[in-house]
Amino acid sequence: MNRSTSSSPYLFFMQVIAIASLLFVSFFFSPSHAWAADKDKSRWDKKYSTEKYVFGREALSFVQDHVDLLPKGHALDIAMGEGRNGVFLATKGFQVTGVDISSEGLKKAEALAAEHSATITTMVVDLEAYDIPPNTYDVIICTYYLQRDLFPKIAAALKPGGMALIETYTRDHNQYRPRFNKAWLLKPNELLTMFPGFRVLRYQEVDTGETAFASILAQKPR
Ligand SMILES: C[S@@+](CC[C@H](N)C(=O)[O-])C[C@H]1O[C@@H](n2cnc3c(N)ncnc32)[C@H](O)[C@@H]1O
């Protein structure tokens, strides 16, 4: 009797500590990430929920201009969106897989592919929590999505001789879109440092007076 009355405040205290620790761990780790991913997905799904192709239906010039340099085979389009680049590659004979967090975007990519009588494979993934299979792709493209920790994963996911094609905004873009988050803008020459050991086949930094971006085409050693 004595024992149970003397230990119950201690037990209660320990239970409170255990519950508080659980709440702390769950708040600061998994759910916060899941919450951010859900928010990202809803934002992009909403943006793509229109018949119009928000980013257009034509592949970027940098993709069109260099398609003949790309090694034929399996291409991965990272953050494919509505599919303008991936579908173009599919029409050129590549076997294309596209990944994106937005199912709405990927639905439009599938529709665009069907219009061109092309086939693509799509997967809804959160790139913040996705491991690209290593040594798998002949070509990886990633345009207008900057997540810096993906670059080593892209390098590893390419087969020897495979090529990475990247294009996204640079810091100069801030003069046209002052509210654009600086963390998502490339520093001068930054793309040139992202694929150590690769051969840089093409690189450009462009300022059109309305937008500013950098593009790279780099090849993994054979
Ligand atoms: C500016 S759009 C670019 C789309 C496409 N690459 C293009 O150039 O047309 C950025 C894309 O990143 C995707 N995205 C954003 N956060 C993501 C995440 N955590 N995982 C996967 N895709 C994500 C969005 O759904 C969107 O399609």
**CB of residue 44 inside a 6 A radius of ligand 1:** yes
Decide if pLDDT at 5 tops 80.
Answer: no
Name the residue ranges covered by the structural domains of the chain. 2-48, 61-219
Among 100, 140, 141, say which to mutate for ligand 1: greatest number of ligand atoms within 8 Å of CB.
100
Nearest CA to ligand 1 atom 17: 101
Give yes or no for residue 28 having a pLDDT over 70. Answer: no
Q: Does ligand 1 lie within 6 Å of residue 55's CB atom?
A: yes
The hierarchical CATH code for the domain 61-219 is 3.40.50.150
| Residue 15 banded pLDDT, cuts 50, 70, 90 | confident
Specify the residue with its C-alpha closest to ligand 1, atom 4: 81
Residue 62 beta carbon below 6 angstroms from any ligand 1 atom: no
* Per-residue pLDDT tens over the stretch 149-159: 999 999 999 99
Summarize pLDDT for 146-205 with one digit per residue, the tens: 999 999 999 999 999 999 999 999 999 999 999 999 999 999 999 999 999 999 999 999
Question: Is 30's pLDDT higher than 80?
Answer: no
Give the other-Cβ count within 10 Å of 11's Cβ: 10
Q: How far is the CA of 5 from the centre of ligand 1 (A)?
A: 59
Using the CB atoms, write b or e for 153-174: b if 16+ within 10 Å.
bbbebbbeebbbbbbbbbebbe
> From CA 18, how far away is CA 121, in angstroms rounded?
45
Q: What is the pLDDT of residue 72?
A: 97
Q: What is the pLDDT of residue 84?
A: 98
Q: How far is the CA of 185 from the centre of ligand 1 (A)?
A: 15
102 pocket-lining for ligand 1 (C-beta < 6 Å): yes
Question: From the CA of 80, how far away is ligand 1's center (Å)?
Answer: 6
Ligand 1 pocket check: which of 35, 132, 145, 181 to mutate, most ligand atoms within 8 Å of Cβ? 145
CA of 145 to the centre of ligand 1 (A): 6
> Residue 13: is its pLDDT beyond 80?
no
